[in-house]
Amino acid sequence: MDRGFALLWRVTAATLLVVAFWQSFPIFQAVVLGRLAEPRAITPRGDLADWEQSTIAVFEAARDSVVFITTAETVIDPWTRNIYDLTRGNGSGFIWDTLGHVVTNHHVIAGASRAFVRLADGRSYPARLVGSAPEHDLAVLQIGVGADRPPPIPIGTSADLRVGQSVLAIGNPFGLDWTLTTGVVSALGRELPTEDGLPIRDLIQTDAAINPGNSGGPLIDSAGRLIGVNTAIYSPSGSSAGVGFAVPVDTVNRVVPQLIARGSYTPPFLGVHFDPRGDELLDRLGLEGVLVLDVVPGSPAEAAGLRPTRMTREGIVLGDIILALGDDAVRRSQDLVAALETRRAGETVDLTILRDGREITLQAALAAAP
């Protein structure tokens, strides 16, 4: 019995030693052979995929047209009365033309007393504010670039965008300069409210990551053309949640030339006076549309034959009620403002109006704002 137990113990101990050695062998092997370690052989990867090459080419072509914007606010120390600049924030922008104009968001430069633009090659310039359109969250700066000016970004269109097509966003999120993110057009025709209550309409929604610092940077299509200006994100945390918004390039291409030429943006001039109180009056009458309170003499509205509201001995005689401008339905004053925003001076539009209980159509040639 004792001999059998001793034999079993020896067999068990030998088995445990073998198992322990087997388990420890890789460690001993790594220690011994690790002293002879050399760099591993590189596995050839082959050519980049076509979509990778396309993305790289678009980024490299657009990079020099994108800029880094920093802003500062001049403050006075209440104790020492010393005046100094306090860094306010940063954002993105892009070169618009060969005259040194830079497009960015209005909210990037709002409240700042100074702005600086840094180019992709490292050169930095103080910027002058040319004009701003808060209602579209757009602003134009100008920098004094001499020789070797960066190229303007190519311009595309946004009217023919389709949900699902690829887009690229370039900007400076969190101060990390010249960052590329990619995604698709997630939706079209989105709206965001502005400070004055009127919404920015027809925004592009994208899932390309947009974070603080991306504002004002370009949204680009796969052909390398500007299709929007990144302006806002929807995120409870303040960081990208896959829902970003961009001002469409058709709006940008309409607003920016006016900002450069005049310093401000004004929609085309129709020449009618209207007021939200007119909306309230029509509400009480169970009607929709915009009541024409007055017509400006010599205006497109007068030439089209629009009739204003007038006072008579019998009381108030309602003028024409605008129901649509072109294909855009007009239910309230803000709808008429938004419809005019999408037009250009010189464009002829159809006005659907309600007059004496009948719908009729008139034509008006919109004019430049006086």
> Do 186 and 110 share a structural domain?
no
Question: Could you say which of 262, 290, 324 is where a domain stops?
Answer: 262
pLDDT at 21: 65
Does some domain include residue 18?
Answer: no
> Do 356 and 273 share a structural domain?
yes
Rounded to whole angstroms, the Cα distance separating 3 from 15 reads: 18
**What CATH number does the domain containing 121 carry?**
2.40.10.10
pLDDT at 209: 86
> Do 250 and 226 share a structural domain?
yes
Cβ burial, residue 252 (10 Å; 0-12/13-18/19+): buried
Which residues, 6+ apart, have CB-to-CB distance to 2 below 8 Å? none
pLDDT at 148: 85
Does some domain include residue 15?
Answer: no
Catalytically active residues, by annotation: 107, 137, 215
Helices (H), the chain: 2-34, 50-62, 106-109, 249-262, 276-284, 300-304, 333-341
Domain of residue 67 covers 60-143
> Do 351 and 313 share a structural domain?
yes
Rounded to whole angstroms, the Cα distance separating 206 from 122 reads: 30
Question: Could you say which of 92, 113, 143 is where a domain stops?
Answer: 143
> Do 281 and 258 share a structural domain?
no
Backbone angles phi, psi at 59, to 5 degrees: -65, -45
Cβ burial, residue 323 (10 Å; 0-12/13-18/19+): buried
Does some domain include residue 327?
Answer: yes
pLDDT at 274: 87
Does some domain include residue 297?
Answer: yes
> Do 213 and 230 share a structural domain?
yes
> Do 252 and 315 share a structural domain?
no
**What CATH number does the domain containing 292 carry?**
2.30.42.10
Segments of the chain with pLDDT less than 70: 1-5, 8, 11, 18-25, 28-34, 36-37, 74-88, 194-198, 233-241
Does some domain include residue 158?
Answer: no
Q: How many domains does the chain have?
A: 3
pLDDT at 210: 86
> Do 275 and 257 share a structural domain?
no
> Do 364 and 277 share a structural domain?
yes
Residue range 228-260, pLDDT digits in tens? 999 876 655 555 567 889 999 999 998 999 999
Give the β-pairing of 218-221 and 226-233: antiparallel
Select from 172, 164, 250, 252 the least CA-distant residue to 207.
164
Residue range 84-95, pLDDT digits in tens? 555 668 899 999
Select from 226, 224, 228, 225 the least CA-distant residue to 215.
228
CA dihedral sign, ordered 206, 211, 214, 215: positive
> Do 182 and 132 share a structural domain?
no
Question: Could you say which of 112, 143, 174 is where a domain stops?
Answer: 143
Does some domain include residue 110?
Answer: yes
> Do 274 and 247 share a structural domain?
no
pLDDT at 77: 61
Which residues, 6+ apart, have CB-to-CB distance to 7 below 8 Å? none
pLDDT at 332: 87
> Do 272 and 241 share a structural domain?
no
DSSP 255-301: HHHHHHHHSS--PPB--EE--HHHHHHHHHTT--SEE--EE-TTSHH
Q: How far is CA 201 from CA 74, 251, 322, 329, in A?
A: 34, 10, 20, 14
Residue 186, helix vs strand vs coil: strand
